């Protein structure tokens, strides 16, 4: 099935038509800078523009940077607070005229990696950490997702919130060397390991391309792998999520 997969990020909103049987991008990838402020109205307009650029009128899957409980946004760390309480799926469906299905961005990136990428066929606990404007997490046990874990907001042993200490945005803003930032990420991963004992940790987002620059600083016992789809996992997984929901509504 072909579905338009969209990844709403802090700096850009990306979309591509995905073949859900294989996870492949079937058309071009379009990126539009994230609107400021990122309100429901402005994000909706951007998503509609992406659909129009793809001449798309079919179903849309959207990975969104918030806890999404049954289609309703519950948090807003890096987006406008007016999203909280909004039924985002319904809202974007109205805005675009296409049936839209919305889930947490890290959860859908995880779906892509578990189905087709670095977590394929891995038994046990897999933790996906997406590194961008925020720190997103997705937790799977034997391929089953526990949604909305929001583990980027835990406090570390230095009293700092993890995403304000080890995200890509912090590395950029503080101009940290990859190795110095690698130490920060390691502190976070050690905290995750102590709590969840994952069998595999997958790193997604922009930094996943640069693992070789900071791998020496990572000392967790679990193997750490870059997301196979790098920062395209969100778009691919958003389409997979929409397909799941569509099939569930037909069944
Ligand atoms: C949000 C999460 C999101 C993560 C990555 C965090 O600030 O709370 O919902 O998954 O950023 O975008």
Which CATH number is 141's domain given? Answer: 3.30.420.40
Return d(Cα 76, Cα 83) in angstroms, integer: 7
Label residue 38 by pLDDT band (50, 70, 90). Answer: very high
- Number of Cβ within a 10 Å radius of residue 173: 9
Domain residues for 162?
Answer: 122-227
Q: Which of 70, 113, 133 is nearest to 238 (CA)?
A: 113
Return the structure tokens found at 2.
Answer: 């072909």
Q: Is 231 in the pocket of ligand 1 (CB under 6 A)?
A: no
Same domain, 150 and 185: yes
Nearest residue (by CA) to ligand 1, atom 6, is 134
Q: Is 67 in the pocket of ligand 1 (CB under 6 A)?
A: yes
Q: Is residue 172 part of a domain?
A: yes
Same domain, 220 and 237: no
Label residue 29 by pLDDT band (50, 70, 90). Answer: very high
pLDDT of residue 208: 87
Is residue 242 predicted with pLDDT exceeding 80? yes
Q: Is 77 in the pocket of ligand 1 (CB under 6 A)?
A: yes
Nearest residue (by CA) to ligand 1, atom 5, is 136
87 CA distance to ligand 1 middle (Å): 17
Q: Is 75 in the pocket of ligand 1 (CB under 6 A)?
A: yes
Mean pLDDT of 8-37: 95
Q: For ligand 1, what atom is nearest to the CA of residue 148?
A: 9
Q: What is the mean pLDDT of the chain?
A: 96
Same domain, 70 and 43: yes
Q: Is residue 184 part of a domain?
A: yes
Return the structure tokens found at 219.
Answer: 């000392």
pLDDT tens for residues 118-163?
A: 999 999 999 999 999 999 999 999 999 999 999 999 999 999 999 9
Is residue 10 predicted with pLDDT exceeding 90? no
pLDDT tens for residues 190-226?
A: 999 999 999 999 999 988 889 999 999 999 999 999 9
Angle at 123 between CA 102 and CA 71, to 5 degrees: 10
Same domain, 36 and 96: yes
Q: Model's pTM, two decimal places?
A: 0.97
Distance of CA 7 to the CA centre of its chain: 7
pLDDT of residue 111: 98
User: What are the residues facing 3 on neighbouring strands?
Assistant: 18
Q: How many residues does the chain have?
A: 251
Nearest residue (by CA) to ligand 1, atom 9, is 66
pLDDT of residue 70: 92
250 CA distance to ligand 1 middle (Å): 30
Furthest C-alpha separation in the chain? 51
Is residue 251 predicted with pLDDT exceeding 80? no
């Amino acid at each position: 099935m072909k579905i338009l997969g969209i990844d709403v990020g802090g700096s850009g909103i990306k979309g591509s038509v995905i073949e859900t049987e294989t996870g492949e991008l079937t058309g071009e990838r379009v990126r539009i800078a994230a609107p400021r402020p990122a309100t429901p109205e402005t994000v909706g307009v951007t998503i509609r523009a992406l659909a129009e650029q793809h001449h798309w009128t079919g179903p849309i899957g959207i990975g969104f940077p918030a806890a999404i409980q049954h289609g309703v946004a519950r948090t807003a760390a890096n987006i406008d607070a007016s999203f909280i309480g909004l039924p985002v799926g319904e809202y974007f469906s109205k805005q675009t005229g296409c049936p839209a299905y919305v889930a947490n961005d890290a959860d859908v990136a995880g779906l892509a990696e578990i189905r087709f990428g670095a977590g394929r066929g891995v038994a046990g606990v897999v933790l996906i950490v997406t590194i961008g404007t925020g720190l997103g997490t997705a937790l799977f046990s034997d391929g089953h997702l526990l949604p909305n874990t929001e583990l980027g907001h835990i406090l570390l042993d230095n009293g700092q919130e993890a995403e304000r200490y080890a995200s890509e945005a912090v590395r950029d803003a503080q101009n940290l060397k990859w190795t110095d930032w690698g130490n920060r990420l390691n502190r976070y991963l050690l905290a995750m390991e102590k709590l969840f004992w994952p069998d595999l940790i997958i790193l997604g987002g922009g930094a996943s391309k640069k693992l070789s620059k900071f791998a020496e600083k990572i000392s967790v016992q679990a193997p750490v792998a870059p997301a196979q789809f790098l920062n395209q996992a969100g778009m691919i997984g958003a389409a997979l999520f929409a397909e799941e929901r569509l099939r569930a509504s037909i069944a």
